[in-house]
Chains A and B, each alone.
Chain A
Amino acid sequence: MTTYLVRRLAQSLIVLLGVSFVVFFILHLTGDPAAVLLPPDASAEDLQRFRQAMGFNDPFFVQYGRFLRGALQGDFGQSIRHGEPAFGLVVERMPATFELSGAALVIALALAIPAGIVSAVRRNTTVDYVSTVVALLGQSLPTFWLGIMLILVFSVHWGWLPSSGRGRIEHLILPAITLGLFTTARIARLTRSGMLDVLSQDFIRTARAKGVGDPPVVWKHALKNAAIPIVTIVGIELGTLLGGSVITETIFAWPGVGRLSVQAIYNRDYPVVQAAVFLLASTFVLVNLVVDVLYTYLDPRIRLR
């Protein structure tokens, strides 16, 4: 098991190195980072002076080395718009994004797992059909449209819930539902198919034959085994949630990293964009590492490798 964990840790470090290279490369896509960072009306002398000052005339890999050293120390340069360190600006907004993603995940798990279990146990009944159709709709609804429709109904029409900002629990409800719906649908479908797989296996039939009642078979025998793929997908879905927060935060004016990065892209404030992309990607890598470690406890077969 130790070799497995060491290998997994080494893989994560390689992935983070790759992430840092892509983040660095974003600025160099057009070939001239100075032209990307300076306003379009900058003179040729300004551009030249800026290139010299920022070290953009150095060889490519020297520049990457410098970027990597900075990134490791949390230095992504100054925000062009705010004049503060870009890293600090992003870190400040992280709690809001975690709050939103966390709430969305809680909603998703609370709805999806019971729905998936009931669907599987009462297969081909009305409950199953309804939950299958709802899950399919949930996977097909574009997040941004759902958010706008929720605002239209609950904020504009009925005036029940605020449409923007962060603070009280009311502010969290609409954005968390919007962000969580897609994940809810995914996890519900996965729970259903996972439970169906497990319920048809021999040890379940044995348990039933021994006279174990329905509730213990479902909750103790089946769910424990169906939980393994669900834990994996939670790690992956966190990536969907962090990415989805870009759109959801924009719609609900939620002061998180997603909204900050969209504004930074409009303002051509690339140090902030780089810091945000790097931090969100690193969060995803870390969470998945943790999920994999948890996994080894859930699934003894991996521990033996």
Chain B
Amino acid sequence: MAHPAAQGRREWLAFSRRLARRRTALFGAVVVAVVLAVALAAPLVSPFDPLGQDLENRLKPPGWQDGAGYIHPLGTDHLGRDILARVIFGARPALLVGVAAVLISGVLGMIAGLLSGYFGGPVDDVLMRLADIQLAFPFILLAIAVIGVLGPSLVTIIAVIGVSSWVIYARVVRGAVLSIREREFIQAAQALGVRDWRVLVRHILPNAFTPWLVVATLDMARVIVIESALSFLGLGVQPPTPTWGGMLADGRVYLSTAWWLATFPGLAILVAVLGINLFGDGLRDTLDPRLKI
């Protein structure tokens, strides 16, 4: 019999190959990898300082429209800052909020879903009513109300999005637990007197992890859009730090004279979100085609 670690690695390889055969998923993965690499290496790949103002070169059009040539490939904003540099650095808050908020809501939702599905009864009732209450709120309105009171900062934004996005994880994990709970290996463990928490962590959690991963991937796309929306409304990471939403809000003012200000940061959001969605869809189809999300 093969060594368990080697077997795990082989399964992982087989899964990666199946995923890579889906061309759209592979394309999504490449897009996500590029966005991630650009965000990490921003100071190296950026042609300019994203905060460097150059008032003599305000509102310069993109390189192909400008007689001066490709000094500023995507043009400059109302303070003469290079748009490309700001788009590159804008990936950082977006991905940081995306990853951190998804981790918080994912862990909260995983715990809620495990408890709800495994214990059922009153625990399930209370948690599912809490989920209904959470879902009743128009998300963005609740988020801006809370951030309005607490004041916008990176930590507040991550906390607000993280704490209020747990429901979808809880529901999906709960569904998975309900079907795993009845399986023989769980009943065997219980009959042997294994403690509840150990059954949950050692036997149920690994089996509920697949749907959780799919939800987490797709939710990352939603969180990035929300982060941009908050920045757009002036309640995200505060200027001068470049954010895609903040750039869009600036560009809106110059819409009739300088279209490039609002266009490129929006395209950046679209590319990042589309890449994640394509990858997430592929992940779902490979891992768990019956999952309805």
* Shortest distance between the CB of A8 and any CB in chain B (Å): 11
User: Is B137 in the interface zone, CB < 8 Å from A?
Assistant: yes
Q: Which residues of B contact A142 (CB under 8 A)?
A: 225, 228-229, 266, 269-270, 273
Pick 25 A–B contacts, CB within 8 A, sort by A.
A15-B132, A18-B136, A19-B137, A22-B137, A29-B146, A136-B278, A137-B274, A142-B269, A143-B229, A144-B248, A149-B262, A149-B263, A152-B255, A152-B263, A243-B139, A243-B140, A243-B141, A246-B141, A262-B144, A265-B145, A268-B148, A277-B145, A281-B136, A281-B138, A284-B136
Q: Are B142 and A277 in contact (CB under 8 A)?
A: yes
* Shortest distance between the CB of A59 and any CB in chain B (Å): 21
A240 to B51, CA, bound (A): 35
* Shortest distance between the CB of B71 and any CB in chain A (Å): 25
Q: Are A136 and B274 in contact (CB under 8 A)?
A: yes
* Shortest distance between the CB of A282 and any CB in chain B (Å): 8
User: Is B44 in the interface zone, CB < 8 Å from A?
Assistant: no
Q: Identify which of B140, B146, B265 contacts A247 (C-beta below 8 A).
A: B140
User: Is B232 in the interface zone, CB < 8 Å from A?
Assistant: yes
Q: Are B233 and A26 in contact (CB under 8 A)?
A: no
Interface of B is mostly: helix
Q: Which residues of B contact A261 (CB under 8 A)?
A: 141, 144-145
Interface size class of B (residues with CB under 8 A): 35 or more
Residue of A with least CB distance to B225: A142
Q: Are A26 and B136 in contact (CB under 8 A)?
A: no
Q: Which residues of B contact A262 (CB under 8 A)?
A: 144, 233
Q: Are B137 and A265 in contact (CB under 8 A)?
A: no
A265 to B139, CA, bound (A): 15
Q: A136-B277, A262-B233 are in contact. Are A30 and B140 (CB under 8 A)?
A: no
* Shortest distance between the CB of A243 and any CB in chain B (Å): 3
* Shortest distance between the CB of A85 and any CB in chain B (Å): 19
Q: Are B137 and A277 in contact (CB under 8 A)?
A: yes
Q: Identify which of A27, A141, A156, A276 contacts B270 (C-beta below 8 A).
A: A141
Residue of B with least CB distance to A15: B132
7 A-B pairs with least C-beta separation: A243-B138, A145-B266, A18-B133, A265-B148, A140-B274, A140-B273, A281-B136
B residues 221-251 in Cβ contact with A at 8 Å: 221, 225, 228-229, 232-235, 245, 248, 251
User: Is B129 in the interface zone, CB < 8 Å from A?
Assistant: yes
Q: A246-B141, A277-B145 are in contact. Are A14 and B245 (CB under 8 A)?
A: no
Q: Identify which of A11, A16, A145, A273 contacts B262 (C-beta below 8 A).
A: A145
Q: A15-B132, A281-B138 are in contact. Are A156 and B274 (CB under 8 A)?
A: no
Residue of A with least CB distance to B269: A142
Q: Which residues of B contact A136 (CB under 8 A)?
A: 274, 277-278, 281
